[in-house]
């Protein structure tokens, strides 16, 4: 649907994909999750190594930490993103209804004022 770039116009570069599949630039929450996961991996792996001096096991802990932290951040971020989308939709509908029904008997503010005055 977007027009192809005209000759001479700089086109958008190909998006960067981790392992060739995960588009971290365009998928919401992907970049943050992977970055936090990497941080968690380094902290967990390094911490385990400092405590035990076992290299191989520390690498395993690092990978496990990466997976757990990435997954945790991902679900947390996506949950908040979904909540935000719902709130945006409610706000959008509210603005649309307000504009559409202002000063008619269907005006949501008028209904609310009537119920307040009757109470």
> Considering the complex, what minimum distance in angstroms separates the CB of residue 17 from other proteins?
9
Report residue 57 as tokens.
């096991």
Select from 43, 51, 55, 67 the one that contacts other proteins (CB under 8 A): 67
By CB under 8 A, is residue 70 in contact with other proteins? yes
Q: What is d(CA 67, CA 32) in angstroms, rounded to the nearest whole number? A: 14
Which of 45-53, 71-79, 97-105, 109-117 is the region at the interface with other proteins (rule: CB under 8 A)?
71-79
Looking at residue 2, the DSSP 8-state letter turns out to be P
> In 10 A of CB 31, how many CB atoms?
17
What is the CB-side half-sphere exposure of residue 78 using CA atoms within 13 A?
10
Residues that bind other proteins (CB under 8 A): 1-2, 4, 18-19, 21-23, 26-28, 30, 33, 63, 66-67, 70-71, 74, 78, 82
């Amino acid at each position: 649907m977007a027009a192809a770039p005209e000759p001479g116009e700089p086109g958008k570069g190909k998006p960067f994909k981790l392992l060739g599949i995960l588009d971290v630039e365009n998928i919401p929450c992907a970049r943050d999750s992977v970055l936090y996961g990497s941080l968690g991996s380094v902290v967990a792996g390094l911490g385990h190594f400092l405590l035990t001096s076992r290299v191989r096991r520390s690498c395993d802990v690092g990978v496990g930490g990466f997976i757990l932290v990435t997954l945790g951040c991902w679900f947390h971020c996506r949950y908040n993103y979904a909540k935000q989308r719902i709130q945006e939709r409610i706000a959008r509908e509210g603005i649309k209804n307000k504009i559409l029904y202002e000063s008619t008997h269907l005006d949501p503010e008028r209904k609310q004022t009537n119920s307040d005055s009757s109470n």
